[in-house]
Amino acid sequence: MDKETLEKMDKDRFRQSLGGLIEAYEAVARRLGVQLD
């Protein structure tokens, strides 16, 4: 969960069918400095 926006960015997106699962994991990867091609 994002501390500032409280947006769910983890397994709850899948469990609660919130959609945007790939986008959420991409956002987490970017925050960790992982370069996605």
Helix, coil or strand: residue 34: coil
The confidence score (pLDDT) of residue 32 equals 94
The confidence score (pLDDT) of residue 9 equals 74
For tokens 């990867």, name the residue.
29
Task: Tell me if 1 is assigned to some domain.
Answer: no
Task: Tell me if 3 is assigned to some domain.
Answer: no
The confidence score (pLDDT) of residue 34 equals 96
pLDDT mean over 15-20: 80
Task: Tell me if 22 is assigned to some domain.
Answer: yes
What is the number of domains present in the chain?
Answer: 1
Domain carrying residue 26: 8-37
pLDDT mean over 7-35: 84
The confidence score (pLDDT) of residue 6 equals 84
Task: Tell me if 27 is assigned to some domain.
Answer: yes
Helix, strand, coil share of the chain (percent; to 5): 45, 0, 55
